[in-house]
Amino acid sequence: MPEPVKIAMFFLALDNDYQDLQRGVARVAAQRHHFTLKEVSAFNNGERQVAQVKECLAEPEGLRARAIVVCPVADALMRPLAEDAARLGVAFVVVNRPSDHLAELRRKYPRVPLFGVSPDQKHVGCIQGQQFKRLLPRGGTLFYIRGTVGAASAELRLEGVQSELANTGIKMVIENGDWSVVSGERALQSRLRVPGAFTGSNWIVGAQNDLMAVGARSALLAAAESKRPELAEIPVTGCDGTRTYGQTMVRTRKLAATVIVPPTAERALDELAQAFLSGRAPTADVLLEATSFRALELVGARVAGARVAESPGSAKSTAAPIAKAPAGRSLDASTSERDCLAPKTRAI
C-alpha cells in the first residue's frame, strides 16, 4: 500500500461549531482517501495563520504536505501564499471564501490543483434577508452583526442581505464581530448604550453566524432581566445551522431562524483525491447550496411586536424537509425553507 498523502488543513478556530463540523467531515474524507491530516487552528488571528502556512511550506520536500486546505481569517493575507505553494507544486485549496484570485495562478501553474470550495455566500445573505422580511413585514430596524472585517464571506453575506432588503421599509444598523459568542454579546451591549436603541416593537437582531447570534441573545436577556423586560421578545437569527448547534438553537426556541451552510472540507478533499488520480485540476470554483432553517411563525407577520399565532391544524413536528433552489437562484421562501414550531423565544 502506498504511503498516505499528507494534507495540511488550516482552520479559523476549533472552538467554533461550524469549524468543528469541518474538522469532523474532513477526518472522515481523509480516511476514505488514505490521506493523513495535519490540523492547525489560527485562533481567529490572520497573522498567526500566515506564519503557520509559511512554516508548513518551509518543511523539507519529503515531509511537506502535498496540499494545503485553508479557511482564511483575512483573505488578502493568504493570497501571496497561494503562489508560494504553487511554485513548490503544493496544491492550494481555499474553503468558504471566494477563490477568484486563483485564476491567474491556475493559468501559470496548470498542473497544480488550485481551486476553491465554498457556499454561495451572497445567496446565504439573500436567505437571511428573506427571513428578515418575514419577521418585519411592515418594516422596522434590523441590528445586523457582521463577521470579521476583511473576510470576503462577511462582505458577500452583507451584500446579499442588502440586495434582498432594498426598497423595503427595513433599516439596517451594522456592527462588526469576529464570529465568536463574546463578539456578538459585545456588539449588542454596545448598541444598547445608544439612546433609543431597541425601543418600539419593530426590532430584530441578525448575525452572520449562530455563535454571534447566541451572544447577542444573551446580552438581550441580561438587559431584560435588569430593567427592560421587553428586550426578551426581540427575535434573533443566526447562520451556519449545524445540526448540533444552530438547528438545535432554533428547535429549542433560542433563535428564530438560521441558515444551513454545508461543510466544504469533505468536498475539498474529494476534489483533491480525484485531481491526484487524474492529474487534472478541479473546477476553479465549486459552489455548494445553503438552505434556510426557520421558526414556523416566520411564515406569518409580526404585528406590533407580536408574532402571528400558529394557524389551526398546523403540524406540531419539529422540522420538515425542503426543496433546494437551483444553484445561483434565491430560495422561494414559501416552498424552500425548513420549518419548526417555535413559540416565543425567551430564554437561553
- 281 and 310 share a domain? no
- Whether 45 and 74 share a structural domain: yes
Is 30 part of any domain?
yes
Res. 155: pLDDT tops 50? yes
Rounded Cα–Cα distance for residues 42 and 48 (Å): 6
Closest to 261 (Cα-Cα) out of 93, 119, 69, 73: 119
Give me the pLDDT at residue 2, please. Answer: 72
pTM: 0.81
Residues in Cβ contact with 247 at an 8 Å cutoff, skipping those fewer than 6 apart: 241, 258, 260, 293, 319
- The model's confidence at residue 310, banded by pLDDT at 50, 70 and 90, is very low
Instruction: Show the DSSP H helices in 140-261 as ranges.
Output: 152-165, 181-192, 210-226, 246-251
Please name the residues in contact with 76: beta carbons below 8 A apart, sequence gap of 6 or more. 150
Do 217 and 164 belong to one domain? yes
Mean predicted confidence (pLDDT) in 255-279 = 96
Q: Read off the pLDDT band of 32 (50, 70, 90).
A: very high
| Any domain includes 345 | no
Specify whether 159 is located in the same domain as 306: yes
In this structure, are 158 and 193 located in the same domain? Answer: yes
Residues 244 and 98 placed together within one structural domain of the fold: no
- Same domain flag for 52 and 128: no
Please indicate, yes or no, whether residues 69 and 148 belong to a single structural domain of this protein: no
Taking residues 174-180, report their average pLDDT.
96
- Among the residue ranges 27-41, 94-108, 158-172, 326-340, the one predicted with the least confidence is 326-340
Asked if residue 280 is part of any domain, the answer here is yes
Q: Read off the CATH number of the domain in which 91 is found.
A: 3.40.50.2300
Joined grid coordinates for residue 148? 470579521
**How high is the pLDDT of residue 1?**
56
Give a yes or no: residue 300 inside a domain.
yes
With b for 16 or more beta-carbon neighbours within 10 A and e for fewer, the 49-76 pattern comes to bbebbeebbeeeeeebbbbbbbbbbbbe
Kindly state whether residue 202 falls inside one of the protein's structural domains: yes
For the stretch 113-130, pLDDT in tens is 999 999 999 999 999 999
* Residue 105 pLDDT > 90: yes
Q: Is residue 332 part of a domain?
A: yes
71 and 219: one domain? no
CB 152 within 8 A of CB 100: no
Q: pLDDT over 70 for what percent of the chain?
A: 84
Closest CA to 132 of 222, 227, 205, 55: 205
Using CB atoms within 10 A of its CB, is residue 107 exposed (0-12), middle (13-18) or buried (19+)? exposed
Task: Please tell me the total count of domains within the chain.
Answer: 2
Residue 95's nearest CA partner among 269, 243, 238, 260 is 269
Q: Does 319 have pLDDT greater than 50?
A: no
Tell me the per-residue pLDDT of 268-305, one tens digit each, with 9 for 90 and over: 999 999 999 999 989 999 999 999 998 765 544 443 33
Domain with 29 in it? 5-118+262-288
Q: Are residues 240 and 268 in the same domain?
A: no
- 318 and 174 part of one domain: yes
Query: What pLDDT shows up at residue 329?
Result: 25
Residues 296 and 170 in one domain: yes
